[in-house]
Amino acid sequence: MKIISYPQFLSDMENFFDKVVKEQERYIMPWGDKKNIVMLSMEEYNELKRMAYEKNEKE
């Protein structure tokens, strides 16, 4: 996972989105006070949600 700045993101937004959609890269963008924006593919997001759901079902 790479850390990028907001100006970097704005300067080449299409490239960043293409890499995320094609699952080539994940990014973290610092945003405000102790907050971050994480960019990952929908497939990865869905897998994380599935794992969280399965964990909650076991409890």
CATH architecture of residue range(s) 2-58: 3-Layer(aba) Sandwich (3.40)
Tell me, what's the pLDDT at 59?
Answer: 77
Tell me, what's the pLDDT at 34?
Answer: 86
For the question of whether the overall pTM of this predicted structure is more than 0.85, the answer is no
Tell me, what's the pLDDT at 39?
Answer: 94
Residues 6+ apart with CB under 8 A from 38: 1, 26, 27, 28, 29
**Boundaries of every domain in the chain:** 2-58
Cα 13 to Cα 40: distance, rounded to the nearest angstrom? 14
Q: What's the rounded mean pLDDT across residues 50-59?
A: 90
Q: What's the rounded mean pLDDT across residues 2-15?
A: 94
